[in-house]
Structure 1
Amino acid sequence: MRSIEELVDIQDSALPFVREAVEAHPGRCVMHPPSETAADALYRCQVTTRSPMGAIVYHTGGISVLDGWVRILGSGCPAIPRSLPEWNEGRTAGFYLVADDAFGGFFALDGGALGPGKGEVFYFSPRSLDWVELECTYSQFLVWACSDFRGFYDDMIWPGCESAIAGLGPDRCLFFWPPLWTTECVLPPGEIKDVPVAEAWGFQMDAARQLG
């Protein structure tokens, strides 16, 4: 295990890159202040601040995109009350959850468990209950999330969904009934409520296992 002194690199930090991505489109993203336990979070992640992931964990509590449409995990904050290492503990093997969205979708960095794209970002889609390779690195994912979704969510949005997303409480996401992955689900949804992100993760993982 590398020490915190080995992981924090002030001279060659990726923080300027992160700030540039966040500030490229004013009003789109919020970079939250870091938690008091940011150093411990970085130590548990064992990533250096020379990487964007390490810089986000050490220097921010996380990044909110479009009022919580996407939440990029850092060291934790009131708006995203869970840290990157805390969220992954006991949940992942061979991949690392790095962000999630208001629809109950999850972004993960592949460590060899999700497909041939080791080191690339995958998306667990609530539409298909499967991992989709995004063909991008973590740095490219950060720039994409902070700039333009480019139609990525077209099959999950409806007129007025922005107000439902903006009304979500911290660490919660939308839950649709019938679920998004069923043929019975139509948008705008017949029934929608919000649930804790952890509940959405567990429910979808159980459903994915049961459906093969």
Structure 2
Amino acid sequence: MSASRWGEVAERIAAAPYPVEVLPVEAERAAACLAGLEITTGSWLGAVIVESGGLLVDHGWLRVLGGGHGGLPNVVSASDLAAGRVTVALDVMGGQFVWMRGRTGTAPTVHYFGPEDLTWDDLELGYGDWLDAMLSGGATGFYEPLRWPGWEAEVAEAGLDQGIHTLPPPWTAEGKDLSAVSRRAIGLRELVDLHEDTARQLGFL
């Protein structure tokens, strides 16, 4: 078995420019998740699954999935493996990061589905490069359009299974200014499904 890559991940966590919390994980639950994906801890994804219930990045805005903890699902339970979609993270606004093949059939990359445009965007990064970027400060610029003054305290209060729903929604012209919209915490899975259902109704998916 190849050596675990957790040491590399832990180094990035320690050097992150914003808070990153490593959630505890149950060993049996993590092992089952790892077996379901048929990977080892020699990959960053495998190491995150075995060594953490998930990572709360930047005051909990980004929830990187691991072996599961409390209301935060593990990678397998959040994914559609039959369709080749491995969900690796969710964010507090109901966005999804999914590791999957692109339309050209090349090596899998991380794709993002966000509430601001309701479309899938290929980030053209493998899992390790994507997580490295997010732990190294990339979340700040990536999420800048979706943040409002004082978001840190509001996001920190949301549970692991909660996201922040806004009205008007971020994909509308009226909802672009997140400081001026109505915001409330709802179930994160409900929020993710709401964005996908809306995208289908609008013909974006």
Question: Does TM-score exceed 0.5, indicating one fold?
Answer: yes
- Which residue pairs with 2:47 in the alignment? 55
Larger displacement relative to structure 2 (22-31 or 41-50)? 22-31
**CA–CA separation in structure 1 for the residues paired with 2:146 and 2:126:** 24
Displacement, 1:150?
4.4
* 1:68-147 alignment runs, 5 A limit: 68-78=60-70, 81-89=72-80, 93-112=83-102, 118-147=107-136
1:7-38 Cα distance to aligned partner (Å, 9 max, x none): xx3x5111111111211127621122222411
Displacement, 1:55?
0.8
**CA–CA separation in structure 2 for the residues paired with 1:38 and 1:107:** 20
Q: Residues 154 and 39 from structure 1, CA distance in 2 versus in 1: closer, same or farther, beyond 3 angstroms?
A: same
Displacement, 1:198?
0.8
1:29-78 Cα distance to aligned partner (Å, 9 max, x none): 11222224111111112111110001111121111112211111011113
Does residue 159 of structure 2 align to residue 164 of structure 1?
no
- CA RMSD across the alignment: 2.0
Q: Residues 81 and 151 from structure 1, CA distance in 2 versus in 1: closer, same or farther, beyond 3 angstroms?
A: closer
Does residue 201 of structure 2 align to residue 210 of structure 1?
yes
**CA–CA separation in structure 2 for the residues paired with 1:117 and 1:99:** 21
CA contact (8 A) 2:23 2:69 kept: yes
Does residue 159 of structure 2 align to residue 177 of structure 1?
no
Does residue 31 of structure 2 align to residue 39 of structure 1?
yes
Matched AA of 1:55: A
**CA–CA separation in structure 2 for the residues paired with 1:59 and 1:69:** 20
Secondary structure of 1:18's aligned partner: helix
Structure 1: segments with no counterpart, 5+ residues: 1-8
Q: Identity rate of aligned residues, in percent?
A: 33
Secondary structure of 1:136's aligned partner: coil
Larger displacement relative to structure 2 (50-59 or 115-124)? 115-124
- Which residue pairs with 1:6 in the alignment? none
Displacement, 1:164?
1.2
Does residue 189 of structure 2 align to residue 198 of structure 1?
yes
Larger displacement relative to structure 2 (27-36 or 60-69)? 27-36
Displacement, 1:112?
3.8
Larger displacement relative to structure 2 (117-126 or 99-108)? 117-126
**CA–CA separation in structure 2 for the residues paired with 1:67 and 1:193:** 17
CA contact (8 A) 2:18 2:59 kept: no
Structure 2: segments with no counterpart, 5+ residues: none
CA contact (8 A) 1:106 1:123 kept: yes
1:63-119 Cα distance to aligned partner (Å, 9 max, x none): 1112211111011113x53111011148x7232110011111111112346x66641
Structure having the larger proportion of residues in helix: 2
CA contact (8 A) 2:65 2:72 kept: no
CA contact (8 A) 2:80 2:86 kept: no
